[in-house]
């Protein structure tokens, strides 16, 4: 039989239900973050293999166990790769179970990092991560930062608030050089280009701070692929441990010995992530420190609160909670589309 791969519509409820059943049969939960799904059908029109995309990642790939060994995974990868290239994504990533990594490695993917027994992270460029590390070293060398005691902060900054600034200022006091990694993933209310620009402008007075893009190697909790992991606690642990496995290599290249995170009391998931991350960093010999959140009039500063005020049409309440560059941006014509999108959104907290 000649097998063909075809995309399915989000509106095709019958086929999407059949895909969900196939995934469940093969021990996979359908990921909540998908923007394209394809299938391979049998003679009766039932899916025997499926795969999906989200951003520059390939996700939720499964072949019915009765059809394995027929090259269907190869067909899925070729189709999804072609689809990704057609929309401009040439640098692709896969998260998968450890035991299944070899199938993707046989199809041109290379391991970046893994968490034993849980997850492997792969990309389709042999030297992709090495080149990213080289770019970080070049950025640091340009300002003479290599060879000094260095710390690091990773933030989404959606948007950059006085809380973020407080974290950076406190961290910058404790090391010679502070590397800030702004999460490049564009799944936030504020675009990456805006977030990075506001972080750079908001920290320009700190002469020992270097701002980097995280590249595609650090992703948010909200879009971490969890379809092959069953429990929320396991998902959180896998994400944190994989992040640290990647960060260890970054720290080794830049001489980072300290990492700073903001204290988290409201979000159970983030607090769990921070706990695992702090444990893993300390095991890796990187001193981890949690910085208490800054408050204004006994109110904790948070980006989610800022987004909520924007959503509720209370922009004036935001001013004391954000640095001057962020406030100037929010009041500009450039910000209007972003503000309108926030005001129309149903949920502005979980970003």
CB atoms near residue 173 (< 10 Å): 11
Residue at which a domain ends, from 123, 140, 163: 123
**pLDDT tens-digit profile of 106-148?**
989 999 999 877 889 999 999 999 999 999 998 887 655 555 7
- Can you tell me the distance from the alpha carbon of 336 to that of 344, in angstroms, rounded to the nearest whole number? 12
Residue ranges in the chain modelled with pLDDT below 50:
none
pLDDT of 233: 74
pLDDT of 30: 87
pLDDT of 259: 94
pLDDT of 143: 59
Range of the domain at 145: 132-344
36-41 and 256-262 beta bridge pairing: unpaired
Q: Among candidates 183, 143, 151, which has minimal Cα distance to 168? A: 151
Residue that has been written with the tokens 């260095």 in this structure: 150
User: CATH number of the domain that 143 lies in?
Assistant: 3.40.50.620
219 and 318 assigned to the same domain: yes
Tell me if 350 is assigned to some domain: no
pLDDT of 64: 95
Residue that has been written with the tokens 């072949």 in this structure: 63
pLDDT of 96: 86
Q: At what angle do helices 268-283 and 232-254 cross, to 10 degrees?
A: 40
User: CATH number of the domain that 43 lies in?
Assistant: 3.40.630.30
pLDDT of 108: 92
pLDDT of 239: 83
119 and 232 assigned to the same domain: no
Domain count, the chain: 2
């Amino acid at each position: 039989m000649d097998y063909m791969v075809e995309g399915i519509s989000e509106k095709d409820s019958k086929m999407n239900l059949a895909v969900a059943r196939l995934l469940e049969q093969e021990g996979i939960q359908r990921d909540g973050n998908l923007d394209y799904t394809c299938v391979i059908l049998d003679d009766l029109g039932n899916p025997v293999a499926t795969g999906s995309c989200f951003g520059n990642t390939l996700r939720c790939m499964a072949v019915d166990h009765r059809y394995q060994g027929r090259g269907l995974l190869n067909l899925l990868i070729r189709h999804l790769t072609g689809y990704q290239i057609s929309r401009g994504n040439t640098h692709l990533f896969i998260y998968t179970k450890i035991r299944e990594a070899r199938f993707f490695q046989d199809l041109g993917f290379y391991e970046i990092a893994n968490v034993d027994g849980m997850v492997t992270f792969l990309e389709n460029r042999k030297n992709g991560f090495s080149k990213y590390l080289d770019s970080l070293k070049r950025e640091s060398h340009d300002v003479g930062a290599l060879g000094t005691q260095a710390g690091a902060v990773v933030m989404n900054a959606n948007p950059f608030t006085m809380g973020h600034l407080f974290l950076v200022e406190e961290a910058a006091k404790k090391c010679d050089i502070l590397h800030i990694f702004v999460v490049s993933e564009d799944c936030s209310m504020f675009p990456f280009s805006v977030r990075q620009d506001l972080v750079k402008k908001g920290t320009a007075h700190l002469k020992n701070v270097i701002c980097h893009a995280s590249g595609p190697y650090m992703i948010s909790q909200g879009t971490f692929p969890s379809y092959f992991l069953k429990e929320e606690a396991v998902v959180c642990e896998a994400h944190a441990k994989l992040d640290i496995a990647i960060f260890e290599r970054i720290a080794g290249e830049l001489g980072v010995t300290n990492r700073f995170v903001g204290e988290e009391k409201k979000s159970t998931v983030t607090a769990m992530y921070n706990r695992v991350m702090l444990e893993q960093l300390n095991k890796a010999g990187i001193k981890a420190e949690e910085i208490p959140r800054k408050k204004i009039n006994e109110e904790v500063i948070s980006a989610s609160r800022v987004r909520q005020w924007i959503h509720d049409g209370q922009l004036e309440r935001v001013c004391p909670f954000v640095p001057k560059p962020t406030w100037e941006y929010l009041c500009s014509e450039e910000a209007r589309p972003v503000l309108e999108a926030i005001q129309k959104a149903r949920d502005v907290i979980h970003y």
